[in-house]
Copies of this chain bind each other. A is one copy, B any other.
Amino acid sequence: MKKLIKEKTSFLTDMLEGLTKMNAQIEVIADTVVVRKEKKKQGVAIVSGGGSGHEPAHAGYVADGMLDAAVCGEVFTSPTPDKILSAIKAVDNGDGVLLVVKNYAGDVMNFEMAQEMAEMEDIQVATVIVKDDIAVSDEDKRRGVAGTVLVHKYAGYLADQGENLDNIKEKVEQFISEIKTIGMAITAPMVPTTGQYGFDIESDEIEIGVGIHGEKGLSREKIVPVDQIVERLISELMKEVEAKQLIVMVNGMGATPLSELNIVTKYVNDNLSQRDIEVKHWLVGDYMTALDMQGFSLTFIPYNEAVLTALSEPTESSYFN
């Protein structure tokens, strides 16, 4: 396996140690929990996390204006309840903690257990579940993917505005219901802890509706020019989005060059223009990745001023622009 790692077993801790070098605002506690060095003195604390391999998510978003803590599991593996509890206890300042959880069985179960444990210690905790991946038709089973990063930003903004836990939970759940994402891949991720590719794919094939762990999606198709791939994805999104003004995220899957993300952006803009839809705000880059998978996802949110204000407010994170 050709990867820039020392050994499979130290992937996570080595990565987190490296992350703290450039990002002087954070530190690692309890081995795999990333927190701000300066704990927030008031306001709801926002905690997220999940399996690793999605960098900069989630640890890269521990920063002023976004997360207070990220609980990092091994690659593509849920973090354990005790680590989540450590995070909750480290960041709670008495105003309560919001857990932002992606909709995977292991994550949901372990965050729920941690919430119960924290509540037994009289910490006020609420949970929101992100399920923005429309490639799964059953809404209850939809996976949390790139839109999760927007939830981090939105929730962090509301906390900084001094909103209380109940209000934040309500507003964030409303926001989550409006986030729609679909992804595609041209190559599979090489998983460093197993030395295996996440899936097999032929040299002329793409996977439409892929998840961020290389899970299968809607269909395996032949590669076509990118404007047709964009049309394929947008036609799925348009089954669920009615707004004529959007906020759009073009998210790279980890090994997609920025040049190609920008080319995708051009064709998304062209396609939406033809549909008489205006993009009020763009986010283009690697936000929620799948190791070194090549591909991208599109996230559409109906534009409204309050959301754009929240997303545009500066954050200390180096990875959210």
Contact = CB atoms under 8 A, between A and B. Distances in A.
A285 B321 CA distance: 14
A174 to B, nearest CB: 26
A285 B262 CA distance: 18
Contacts of A292: 255-257, 260, 294
A57 B301 CA distance: 30
A207 to B, nearest CB: 11
Interface string A272-287: 0000000100111110
B4 A289 contact: no
Interface size class of A (residues with CB under 8 A): 35 or more
Contacts of A117: none
B2 A263 contact: no
Contacts of A21: 262, 265-266, 269, 279, 282, 284
B4 A226 contact: yes
Given A4-B264, A256-B292, 10 more contacts: A2-B294, A11-B263, A14-B267, A15-B260, A15-B266, A17-B269, A18-B261, A255-B294, A259-B291, A285-B318
Interface of A: 2-7, 11, 14-19, 21-22, 52-53, 55-56, 60, 186-187, 203-204, 206, 223, 225-227, 229, 254-267, 269, 279, 282-286, 289, 291-292, 294-296, 318-319, 321
